[in-house]
């Protein structure tokens, strides 16, 4: 299962674009939209929300998290393991610390 957690907002194509790429790259894997309207650029508030909701998902869930106060910069993705249960894929920003 892949869970999307972003600050993209509810308007615009971005979540749909991510879902289309995930469908091509991981066909048959469930994709859940947890948040598309996480507090924009607010890493601390988003981290709190993600921690509060992650417990609802089974071990092995992959969280694809994009809350990025520096949108548009070139930087790598980081994979974090949380509580030995979940993987989180995040951009390398201050939010990933």
Q: Are 9 and 40 in contact (CB under 8 A)?
A: yes
Q: Which fold has domain 2-96?
A: Rossmann fold (3.40.50)
Q: Which two tokens stand for residue 13?
A: 């194509």
Q: Which two tokens stand for residue 38?
A: 């996480």
Sorted by where each begins, the domain ranges of the chain are 2-96
Q: Which residue has the tokens 């869970």?
A: 3
Q: What is the pLDDT of residue 1?
A: 93
pLDDT digits over 13-69, tens only?
A: 989 999 999 999 999 999 999 999 998 888 888 888 988 998 899 988 988 888 876
Evaluate if pTM is beyond 0.85: no
User: How long a stretch of residues is the chain?
Assistant: 97
């Amino acid at each position: 299962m892949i869970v999307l957690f972003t600050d993209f907002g509810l308007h615009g194509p971005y979540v749909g674009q991510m879902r289309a790429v995930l469908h091509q790259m991981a066909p048959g894997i469930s994709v859940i939209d947890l948040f598309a309207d996480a507090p924009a650029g607010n890493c601390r508030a988003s981290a709190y929300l993600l921690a509060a909701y992650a417990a609802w998902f089974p071990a092995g869930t992959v969280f694809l998290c994009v809350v990025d106060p520096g949108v548009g910069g070139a930087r790598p993705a980081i994979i974090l393991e949380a509580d030995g249960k979940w993987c989180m894929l995040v951009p390398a920003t201050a939010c990933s610390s």
